Amino acid sequence: MRGFVRETRLSPEDLVYPIFVTVGEDVRNPVASMPGIFQLSINHAVAEAQRVHDLGIPAVLLFGLPEQKDEAATGAYDPEGIVQLATRAIKEAAPELLVITDVCLCEYTSHGHCGVVEKETGEVLNDVSLELLARTAASQAEAGADIVAPSDMMDGRVAAIRSELDNEGFENTPIMAYAAKYASAFYGPFREAADSAPQFGDRRSYQMDPANAREALVETGLDVEEGADIVMVKPALPYLDVLRRVRETTDLPVAAYNVSGEYAMVKAAAQNGWIDEQRAILEALTGIKRAGADIIITYHAPDVARWLSG
């Protein structure tokens, strides 16, 4: 009876699994703050993508750790960059698995900011950054990315990326926009995983104030107008009210990102025997879906897929 009247059903098909791809051969670096998560060289990333596909998870989200970082984030839009190479390799091994690529500069800039920084002032330059972000997205689409996902939060980036994709012949490549992305303490472990912590200052000039919910609707509206195909709320659990409101204001698919800090908290408590890991994770993800997410990006994806099918 209990299952018969259940309103919300979690399925492996709801999930997206993030993968951190690094240069080098045969690398599998554990991320200390994210037990179970590794920085993977391309051969391991392909194996992981294959495993994820076999579990019924429809998509992976790729983040890259380049060979070198510089002020112009060259590695982000290099046709032979780490994400471009990984995308080609994964699409070749598992053509049906969707490859979503992160479009941001923070993993590729020497200072770790999501855009180009003016030297004298340390200010992030919005419009100069747009051009590089658009080039990044186009190079990823060229490499075979099925969806591009701008996470930088520069103003006007969805429009800039849409127009570049269209010009380069990728009219059919959708954009999953991080529409409501908060300046959150819960990204801490990710910055270790992606080696993308800002070297000075913080991201508050381009990410949102956690106190603001209406602003999320404004941001989402802009992204939709600019051509977003999927909108995202991030992090997930502290922002379920925002997720619900975004769900109610758009008919586009809505994604929620269950971020690194949310993952780390559950893992740490479970390792201490303080909570039941499986129940806690299934409850949290069911809550995210109940709040309105069509798509959940989560580091728990393979575990969850296994539990749901076993």
Segment lying near ligand PBG (by CB under 6 A), choices 5-13, 99-107, 208-216, 278-286: 99-107
CB 64 within 8 A of CB 113: no
* 291 touches ligand PBG by CB under 6 A: no
Phi then psi for residue 132, to 5 deg, are -70, -35
* 203 touches ligand PBG by CB under 6 A: yes
* 182 touches ligand PBG by CB under 6 A: no
* 187 touches ligand PBG by CB under 6 A: yes
* 104 touches ligand PBG by CB under 6 A: yes
* 129 touches ligand PBG by CB under 6 A: no
Residue with tokens 């070749």: 92
Q: How far is the CB of 250 from ligand PBG (least distance, A)?
A: 21
Both tokens of 207, joined, read 């990410």
Count interface residues toward ligand PBG (CB under 6 A). Answer: 12
Q: Which of residues 245-274 bind ligand PBG (CB under 6 A)?
A: 259-260
Q: How far is the CB of 224 from ligand PBG (least distance, A)?
A: 20
* 237 touches ligand PBG by CB under 6 A: no
Q: How far is the CB of 157 from ligand PBG (least distance, A)?
A: 12
Any alpha helices (H) in the chain, and if so which ranges?
Answer: 42-54, 74-77, 82-93, 126-143, 157-167, 188-193, 214-226, 240-249, 260-271, 277-291, 301-309
* 114 touches ligand PBG by CB under 6 A: yes
User: Which amino acid appears at position 300 of this protein?
Assistant: H
* 298 touches ligand PBG by CB under 6 A: no
Task: Name the active-site residue from 69, 91, 119, 234.
Answer: 234
CB 46 within 8 A of CB 54: no
Catalytic residue status for 119? no
* 230 touches ligand PBG by CB under 6 A: no
Q: How far is the CB of 136 from ligand PBG (least distance, A)?
A: 12
Q: Is 4 exposed, middle or buried (0-12, 13-18, 19+ CB in 10 A)?
A: exposed
Q: What is the CA 252 to chain-centroid distance, rounded? A: 18
Q: Is 245 exposed, middle or buried (0-12, 13-18, 19+ CB in 10 A)?
A: buried
* 77 touches ligand PBG by CB under 6 A: no
Q: What is the CA 268 to chain-centroid distance, rounded? A: 22
Catalytic residue status for 289? no
Nearer to ligand PBG, 78 or 262 (CB): 262
* 117 touches ligand PBG by CB under 6 A: no
SS (H, E, C) 52-93: HHHCCCCEEEEEEECCCCECCCHHHHCCCCHHHHHHHHHHHH
Is the four-CA dihedral 75, 26, 147, 232 of positive or negative sign? negative
Segment lying near ligand PBG (by CB under 6 A), choices 1-9, 46-54, 100-108, 276-284: 100-108
Segment lying near ligand PBG (by CB under 6 A), choices 48-56, 102-110, 244-252, 285-293: 102-110
Nearer to ligand PBG, 35 or 249 (CB): 35
Residue with tokens 């997930």: 236
Catalytic positions, written as ranges:
181, 234
Binding residues for ligand PBG (CB under 6 A): 102, 104, 106, 114, 151-152, 187, 190-191, 203, 259-260
